[in-house]
Structure formats: C-alpha cells, structure tokens
C-alpha cells in the first residue's frame, strides 16, 4: 500500500506542476497534462525508470478510465434537450461530416501514401475520425461556453461524431454476438427508467442520506460500463447517454454538478490526461517522424475541408466558424480506444499503433491550442465570463 500511495503522490505532483504551467502559459490544463505526461515518460525511459509511475498498473488504468467515464457523463449532462431539438440539423450534419471526412481522408492516406494494408488503413481512419468529448468539454468549462447554446451545440455535434465512429468500428471489426444484444437491451432498459428512479431517489433521500444521488449515478455509470466491456464495447459509450438522459435534472441542481466536477477534475482526470500523454512513444516517432506528420496533417486538413464550409451554414462569424471547426478537429478518448482495439486484435502493428496514437493525442493539442490563441469568440462568452483583459484559458475549473 505504501508504494501505491507514493505512486499516486508522484502523479498528483505532475498534476500540480501541470496546473502551474497552464496558469503561467494561459492554456488549458488538459493540454498541458498531456504534454507533461509525454515528457515525463520520455525522461523516465532515459534512466530506465518507467516502472516508477506504474502507468500500466490495473488500479491506475482504472483511475484513468474512471476519469474518462465521469468526464464523459458530465459532458452529456451539459446538453440541453431544448437546445438540441432546435439545433438538430446542425448537430447531425456537423457530427456526420466531422466523422466521414477524416475517415475517408486518413484511411486513403494510410493505404495509398504509407502503404498500409486495408485493415490497418480503415482502423487508422476510424481512430482519426473521432472528436474528443473530454477535450472539448474541458475547454467548454475553461471558457464558460458550456453555459451557452454555442457550446451545447458543439457538444451535441461531438456526440454524433463519436457515436458514428463507434458504430463504424463495430460494423467493420467487432463481432456481433449475443453479448452485443444484451448490452443494447440492458442499456435501453436502464436509460428508459433512469429519469424516474433518479427523481424518486432525489425526492425522498437526496438531502437526508449522504450523497446518495452521486452514489446512484456512479452505480449506473460503472454498472453499464462493466456491461459494455463484457460485450466488447467501451465503458465511456453509455456514460454519454446517461449524462444526456439526466441533463434536465442536472441542470436544476447546479450545486450538485459543481461538486461532481470538482471531484472529477481535481482528482480523476489528471490520471486520464497524463496517462494519455504517456502512451506516445517518442523513440518510435523519432525514427519515422514523417509518418506521424502525414497522419496528423491528413486528419486536420480533412476535418477542416469537410467542416468549415458546413459550419458556415450555421455560423457566419469567421472566428466562430474557425473555433468550432478546430475544436471539432480534436481527438483523444475514442481515438485511443480504437487504436488499442486495433493493436490487441492484430489489425495494426505496434509501430503503426504508436503513430496513430501519437497523431490522435497531437490532434488534442494542436487544433485546441490554435483555436484558443487565435480564434476564441469572446463575444459569445456569458456576461459573467467576459474577460477584462486578453482571454485566459487557465484550467478545467476554477473551483476548489
């Protein structure tokens, strides 16, 4: 147990250092944690001490996965059903184009330019077709856009994009078994009864029993997550749906949401973002950097070429269009999941896996950095979040 506490202390030390750097550079803490994780892994590998952080330990992978699950739930809970109904066309079109354009573009580049086989090329296309819910939601919290129709519409498009990527992965590679049908049926039943059971628990016990609503939501998230993993899917898939179903009740209790965000951002997500950075193999990239550059450039160019004209139909202001387009060009959670699926099922080689994951993680950093520095639509910020000086993006949350 002593070694576990020491390891956690090291990770939290990296998280604190990341926060200080993010504050100094006025950048999102999520991006800095990814970069710090990459550099920490590279530095430790020079001294043969990579085991010090135990990045592949089962308990640490659980903490990182928990951060992704709860953060995805929170992103879903931010969606306003009324806003989504009004923005159904925008959310659907932007999400589908955001999926299809990089899927075709990166798969073609992998096959025809890099010479990868069909399975590796399509797996690469799926991994790089995703948009990062975790990064976009983190940036929404940073800026305050999570309170606006602009931010909620973007989160909705992100969901459509990622859901399309998950479906494509399942249709192309995942076996369709009875477990899939059990997972789908169980999820439908739980989601159908969840608003009523949660409302009943909240009404009768919420303010008399210690944090029962939080315990109930966690039970649902991890219960459906375990069912998803058993079926061959991923735990983050139902988390977004649970958040969407409970979005109405969550909106009525901002204090509860604020406390849950503080727990998630203050403790869980550093493990997720730092570990995401540690997945990048700098030695593999240095041996063939051009492969990484081609994959990253193809994803960003195909996303931008596909999305910028489409987003122009819904957003006329150039800053809004570029900001929206660049954030939809990010990738992280589902991209790394798809990459790992390809590696574990022999669809890609370890070297191809490193290139894909590096491109996925770089796509979480590069477009977000450009969007925040040059295209932040300050005029859309809520009145209380309007900066008195140049806009500062200094963390996931200002709480606790």
Domains of the chain, first to last = 2-385 (1.20.1530.20)
d(CA 53, CA 38): 12
d(CA 314, CA 325): 12
Do 375 and 319 touch, CB atoms closer than 8 A? Answer: yes
Vertex 57, ends 53 and 63: CA angle to 5°? 90
- pLDDT tens for the chain, 400 residues long, are 788 899 999 999 999 999 899 888 777 777 788 889 888 988 888 887 778 888 888 999 899 889 888 988 887 887 777 777 888 899 999 999 999 999 999 999 999 999 999 999 999 999 999 998 878 888 888 788 888 889 888 988 988 998 898 888 878 887 778 888 999 999 999 999 999 998 888 888 876 667 888 899 999 999 999 998 888 777 887 888 898 888 877 767 778 888 888 888 889 989 988 887 887 777 777 777 899 999 999 999 999 999 999 999 999 999 999 999 999 999 887 887 788 778 877 898 888 888 998 898 889 889 988 998 899 998 887 765 555 444 444 444 433 3
DSSP string, 358-386: HHHHHHHHHHHHHHHHH---GGGS-GGG-
CA dihedral 196, 66, 360, 227 (to 10 degrees): -60
Tokens 């998230």, located at residue: 221
How big is the chain by its Cα radius of gyration, in Å?
20
CA distance from start to end of the chain: 27
Do 342 and 348 touch, CB atoms closer than 8 A? Answer: yes
Whole-model pTM?
Answer: 0.76
d(CA 238, CA 345): 23
């Amino acid at each position: 147990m002593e070694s576990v506490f020491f390891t956690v202390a090291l990770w939290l030390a990296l998280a604190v250092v990341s926060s200080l750097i993010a504050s100094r550079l006025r950048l999102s803490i999520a991006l800095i944690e990814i970069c710090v994780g990459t550099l920490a892994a590279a530095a430790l590998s020079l001294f043969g001490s990579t085991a010090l952080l135990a990045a592949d330990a089962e308990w640490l992978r659980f903490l990182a996965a928990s951060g992704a699950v709860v953060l995805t739930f929170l992103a879903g809970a931010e969606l306003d059903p009324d806003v989504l109904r009004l923005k159904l066309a925008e959310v659907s079109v932007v999400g589908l184009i955001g999926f299809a354009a990089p899927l075709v573009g990166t798969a073609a580049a992998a096959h025809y330019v890099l010479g990868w086989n069909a399975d590796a090329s399509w797996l690469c296309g799926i991994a790089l077709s995703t948009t990062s819910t975790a990064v976009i939601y983190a940036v929404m919290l940073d800026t305050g856009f999570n309170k606006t129709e602009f931010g909620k519409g973007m989160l909705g498009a992100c969901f459509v994009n990622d859901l399309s990527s998950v479906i494509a992965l399942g249709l192309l590679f995942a076996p369709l078994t009875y477990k899939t049908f059990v997972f789908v049926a169980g999820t439908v039943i739980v989601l159908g009864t969840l608003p009523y059971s949660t409302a009943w628990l909240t009404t009768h016990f919420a303010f008399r029993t210690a944090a029962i609503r939080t315990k109930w939501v966690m039970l649902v998230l991890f219960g459906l997550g375990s069912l998803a993993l058993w079926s061959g899917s991923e735990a983050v898939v139902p988390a977004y749906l649970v958040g969407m179903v409970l979005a109405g009740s969550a909106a009525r209790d901002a204090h509860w949401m604020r406390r849950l965000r503080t727990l998630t951002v203050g403790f869980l997500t550093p493990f997720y973002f730092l570990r995401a950075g540690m997945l990048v193999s700098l030695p593999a990239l240095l041996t063939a950097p051009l492969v990484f550059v081609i994959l990253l450039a193809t994803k960003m160019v195909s996303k931008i070429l596909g999305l910028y004209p489409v987003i122009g139909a819904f957003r006329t202001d150039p800053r809004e269009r570029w900001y929206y387009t660049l954030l939809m060009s990010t990738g992280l959670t589902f991209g790394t999941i798809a990459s790992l699926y390809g590696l574990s099922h022999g669809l890609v080689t370890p070297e191809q896996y490193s290139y894909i994951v590096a491109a996925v993680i770089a796509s979480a950093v590069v477009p977000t950095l450009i969007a925040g520095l040059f295209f932040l639509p300050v005029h859309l910020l809520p009145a209380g979040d309007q900066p008195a000086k140049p806009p500062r993006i200094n963390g996931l949350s200002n709480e606790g």
